[in-house]
Structure 1
């Protein structure tokens, strides 16, 4: 490898070589393979297709969820279970069975695993069925899956194994689904690893996430759906935030155990996928009935949980505790039922509800504790502290909140003990050409 500031044999400054991929060097900060003109053209095509594909898919899923929530009570109870069944049937079709992962599929592809187009197609339809019919996961997984699929197509056209096109596609999905142009890009380069991130792919990630945000805004309007005015930060709020950090770290350990159980099976009785799916479908129907009875007829169990935040705004501390338990159960059951979707928005919602609950009980700053709870659980769940802090900054525009967020995220990472909700992450980035350490 030629050092960055060395010169070639002709005396001219040498270009930095970032490693060989099938005999083609990845050069420059964009880490794209030669020929550069074709690579840049494919970069633009993948970015635009991923951005508008993800934005359109998320927009459609969210409007479908709104229509279901306003529909008859029987539909809100039955459709989440039906979504699990449809997803399982679709993924079982074809000669190669497709697993239920969505964001994990991006991580696998980033680390070198190959998926066929029919596997991407099956997972995409499965994610649309799971989330679009009310499963308690989020459309972020669907958006990232679409972006990864477009990136893999572009990578095959370029005859390269470098992950840059995958990164720009996934980042477009994050930016479109989260309405987040900066945190979405950081997620794309930070989420494949439990410790550290691939800094040299940050430019293409920010390009993709910004394109995804602009595409979503062109469809749905320019807005920041998570924006919160936190007001004054007091000493009581700081102490409550520290308690939230410890709780989020412990919760991340529990969610990590749950995701691994969903992948490996719950022992000899529930070792087959059909056992998971049938049991989860029955439990989702039960949770739907409980939600309709106990939460003023509002289907708080539906989707990633944004519907439940409206009910939580005026709920008592006991009501928030019940809502937290129901939302955690709904997301956990959907995961155990091998539903296809992401956990990013469910983690944000659970953290927000937990923060509001503490604020109600101890008379704290509800707005501040809500976003701090969401930040800590996101950072601990996927081991993405930097992306979580940037999301906090985008959501609050408050320096005191971000300063407090730095402290609580560090505490959460320490308490979490390296656990993650994803089984596809690697421990840390390594120099190109060397195998990555498995998780």
Structure 2
């Protein structure tokens, strides 16, 4: 009972600490820096994103004793969730947070949810490592998930969204387990802490008057929701590929070249936005709400909305490719908002429902981009305070999930949660392969195989090779029983061996070779190189041994 109470207090403590950190980050980045930048001259606004990118890149390069950090934030949470040996170091936290503040505070088209999730996950992970005695019988990722939930809860002031996002985001089609209660307590305490400390309880990421969404669920509304979902699914597929391409560029090209190119592109987009929209709509998560107000303006033409969609997509991809630090949750939401508004211009359901399709688009694009359908719908409901979005939002989200296929903005998401043995069977074949082994020749007699090989080695099956080491088949002692023992010395192993088997390759997994062993009915199987020579064998016992070893060293 005592340990249970201590765990509950720890879950809440993770939320409080995360809420304090996120409050500081949001106030400095958005309410101090970004607000000041948006009130500067056009020239200063055009130069600001470049300054933020360079500060972020240099901070990451000078951290950790000169070993450059990646600009990943929320991705670090997903990576650590799936790889228990990957530790989120507290030492890296201030560098990534300051880089995120610089990127977003000086106008980079990214969100602060990335640094917020990273801050919470790092905090939770560190506390759990120091209090391992308290969580010995619990899921080792409980506080990691709780911290991530707390980060989302604070930055969006949406506790339920935080819980669902933390549980959904590690997988494309599944939920994390054994962390619901920690996430709930941490998310709630983080939200309360953030609101009390920052005083930003009325500053929601998406605000909309409820009289703008007074609509029914008629045929046009539901059909429009499905169209929004389909378009958002297609656009999310494009956006996911753009983000992954940007990440590859950031890793493969010289850092100074990408930072320079990103600075020029970001500055050019600021000027282009001013020319087209008379506002810096390419800057920050939402340009302090200017993007939302512009998109929901009923007087804006559809071609101009299309231009804004392209500018925001390029702006966010540029931040990622240049090495800036920030999340893509809000950029996804903004793109969905614009697509929904475009559809709303085609399917007119009256001025009172001007915000209906845009916010359906927010849910659909978020769900398709991050593969978090429940969190996406909950986010729209919480951030707008309009429950009328839920039913059509679910329709749009369902359609977007079908259309987007297997795409995702995350490199570390897995399709579904796999079981203990399933994870082991996904290991490379080399992890279970024995490199020290003996084979028998096809010309050897059954007597030699049984009396000189099988019984002395207590090995009832053997791989048969020719003089060049090429695989021929598998011989079993049980098959020798079908031959009269008087004939063993005259009968070759090649006469009774199992033939026609396809040997395993070094690139295979344990699952693939296990399937062939079961099909052939053998306890041993050969592994060959590209030349067809046998370089190792896998046995049923070697598979069991590696599974038991990993269980001992990794705790299952």
Which bracket does the TM-score occupy, shorter chain normalised?
0.7 to 0.9
Is residue 86 of structure 1 aligned with residue 43 of structure 2? no
Counterpart residue number, 2:360: 372
Pairing of 1:255-334 with structure 2 (within 5 A): 255-265=239-249, 271-296=253-278, 298-305=279-286, 306-314=289-297, 315-334=300-319
2:178 aligned counterpart, secondary structure: helix
Q: Deviations over 1:55-74 (max 9, x none)?
A: 22113222121221112222
Counterpart residue number, 2:21: 53
Counterpart residue number, 1:226: 206
Q: Deviations over 1:102-125 (max 9, x none)?
A: 110111122222233333332222
The unaligned stretches of length 5 or more in structure 2 are 428-556
2:318 aligned counterpart, secondary structure: helix
Q: 1:225 to 1:287 in 2, by over 3 A?
A: closer
Is residue 101 of structure 1 aligned with residue 101 of structure 2? no
Counterpart residue number, 1:128: 101
Q: CA deviation at 1:212?
A: 2.3
Q: 1:397 to 1:36 in 2, by over 3 A?
A: closer
Give distance in 2, aligned partners of 1:193 and 1:41.
28
Question: Do the aligned partners of 2:147 and 2:186 also contact (CA within 8 Å) in 1?
Answer: yes
Question: Do the aligned partners of 1:375 and 1:391 also contact (CA within 8 Å) in 2?
Answer: yes
Counterpart residue number, 1:144: 117
Q: Deviations over 1:397-424 (max 9, x none)?
A: 5565322222221111111102100112
Give distance in 1, aligned partners of 2:254 and 2:88.
23
Give distance in 2, aligned partners of 1:434 and 1:120.
33
Give distance in 2, aligned partners of 1:400 and 1:309.
19
The unaligned stretches of length 5 or more in structure 1 are 1-27, 29-33
Counterpart residue number, 1:3: none
Q: 1:332 to 1:396 in 2, by over 3 A?
A: same
Match of 1:415 among 397, 400, 403: 403
Q: 1:322 to 1:263 in 2, by over 3 A?
A: closer
Give distance in 1, aligned partners of 2:272 and 2:95.
32
Q: CA deviation at 1:40?
A: 4.3
Counterpart residue number, 2:521: none
Give distance in 1, aligned partners of 2:263 and 2:357.
34
Give distance in 1, aligned partners of 2:70 and 2:401.
29
Q: CA deviation at 1:47?
A: 2.1
Counterpart residue number, 1:384: 372
Q: 1:49 to 1:399 in 2, by over 3 A?
A: closer
Give distance in 1, aligned partners of 2:421 and 2:190.
30
Q: Deviations over 1:182-229 (max 9, x none)?
A: 111111111111111124312211222222222222222433453432
Q: CA deviation at 1:35?
A: 5.4
TM-score (norm 1): 0.85
Q: Deviations over 1:365-391 (max 9, x none)?
A: 321101100000000000001111222
Q: CA deviation at 1:358?
A: 2.1
1:194 aligned counterpart, secondary structure: coil
Pairing of 1:234-253 with structure 2 (within 5 A): 234-253=218-237
Structure with higher RCO (Cα < 8 A, 6+ apart) = 1
Counterpart residue number, 1:17: none
2:355 aligned counterpart, secondary structure: helix
Question: Do the aligned partners of 1:174 and 1:212 also contact (CA within 8 Å) in 2?
Answer: no
Counterpart residue number, 1:394: 382
Give distance in 2, aligned partners of 1:203 and 1:240.
37
Is residue 349 of structure 1 aligned with residue 330 of structure 2? no
Give distance in 1, aligned partners of 2:112 and 2:99.
11
1:244 aligned counterpart, secondary structure: helix
Question: Do the aligned partners of 1:104 and 1:422 also contact (CA within 8 Å) in 2?
Answer: yes
Q: Which has the larger radius of gyration?
A: 2
Q: After alignment, is 232-241 or 382-391 more displaced?
A: 232-241
Give distance in 1, aligned partners of 2:375 and 2:260.
36
Q: 1:210 to 1:432 in 2, by over 3 A?
A: farther
Q: 1:212 to 1:43 in 2, by over 3 A?
A: closer
Match of 1:363 among 345, 348, 352: 348
Is residue 186 of structure 1 aligned with residue 155 of structure 2? no
Is residue 425 of structure 1 aligned with residue 413 of structure 2? yes
2:59 aligned counterpart, secondary structure: helix
2:22 aligned counterpart, secondary structure: helix
Give distance in 2, aligned partners of 1:225 and 1:334.
20
What is the alpha-carbon root mean square deviation over aligned residues? Answer: 2.5
